[in-house]
Amino acid sequence: SDDAQYIVPFAGSQESDPPNVVGASELKAYFDRRGHLPYRHEILFSAVEGEHAFVEGVSVLAGSGHRDRSFVASVTLASDGRIRRYLAYAAASTIDPSPSTETRSDHDARAVVDRYFNALREARFEDAAACFSEDCLYSHPPYRHTQIKDPNRVELHGRDALLANFNRRGPASFGYRMDAFVQRGPNAMFEQAVVGLPGGKDSLSMGSLTLAGDGLIRRYAAFYFDPA
User: In 3D, which of 142, 141, 137 has the Cα closest to residue 157?
Assistant: 137
Output 150 or 205, whichever has higher pLDDT.
205
C-alpha–C-alpha distance, residues 160 and 224, integer Å: 24
Instruction: Please tell me the predicted confidence (pLDDT) of residue 7.
Output: 87
Going by C-beta distance under 8 Å and a sequence separation of 6 or more, which residues neighbour residue 219? 97, 99, 100, 136, 137, 208, 209, 210
Position 152 scores a pLDDT of 78
- Go through the domains of the chain in sequence order and give each one's CATH number: 5-90 (3.10.450.50), 109-225 (3.10.450.50)
- Which of 54 and 203 is assigned the larger pLDDT? 54
Per-residue model confidence as pLDDT tens digits over 7-28 = 887 655 555 556 688 999 999 9
Backbone phi, then psi, for 95, in 5-degree steps?
-110, 110
Q: Is 81 left (phi over 0), alpha (psi -120 to 50) or beta?
A: left
pLDDT, tens only, 55-97: 999 999 998 999 999 999 999 999 999 999 999 988 888 999 8
pLDDT of amino acid 14: 55
Model pLDDT, residue 172 = 80
Of 185, 190, 137, 144, the C-alpha closest to 162 is 137
d(CA 223, CA 206): 5
The answer to whether the beta carbons of residues 88 and 9 sit under 8 Å apart is yes
Average pLDDT, the chain: 89
pLDDT digits (tens, 9 = 90+) for 23-46: 999 999 989 998 988 989 999 999
The helix/strand/coil state of 52 is strand
Give one word for 205, left, alpha or beta, with left for phi > 0 and alpha for psi -120 to 50.
beta
pLDDT tens digits, one per residue of 124-176: 999 999 999 999 999 988 766 666 667 778 899 999 999 999 998 888 888 88
- How does strand 67-77 pair with strand 39-49? unpaired
Average pLDDT over residues 193-216: 88
Whole-number pLDDT of residue 137? 97
Taking the CA atoms of the chain, what radius of gyration do you get in angstroms?
18
What's the pLDDT score for residue 214? 96
8 A C-beta contact, residue 137 and residue 219: yes
Evaluate if residue 217 carries a pLDDT over 80.
yes
Quote the DSSP letter at residue 122.
T
